Amino acid sequence: MDKQALELELKQVIKTVVDYPKPGIVFRDVTSLMQDGPSFKKVIDAFCYFYADKGITKIVGTESRGFIFGAPLAYAMGISFVPVRKPGKLPRQRISQSYQLEYGEDALELHADAIAAGDKVLLVDDLLATGGTIDATAKLVRQLGGIVDDAAFVIALPELGGVKRLQQAGLNILSLVEYSGE
The catalytic site residues sit at 65, 102
Pairing type for strands 147-156 and 120-128 reads parallel
Cis peptide before 91 (omega within 30 of 0): no
- Which residue in 80, 59, 56 sits closest to 70, CA to CA? 59
Which residue type does 38 have?
P
Pairing type for strands 26-29 and 58-62 reads unpaired
* Interior angle at CA 116, CA 112 and CA 120, nearest 5: 125
Buried b (16+ CB within 10 A) or exposed e, 142-175: bebebbbebbbbbbbbbeeebbebbeeeebebbb
The DSSP code for 85 is: B
What does the alpha-carbon distance between residue 116 and residue 102 come to, in Å, rounded to a whole number? 32
Instruction: Classify 62 as helix, strand or coil.
Output: strand
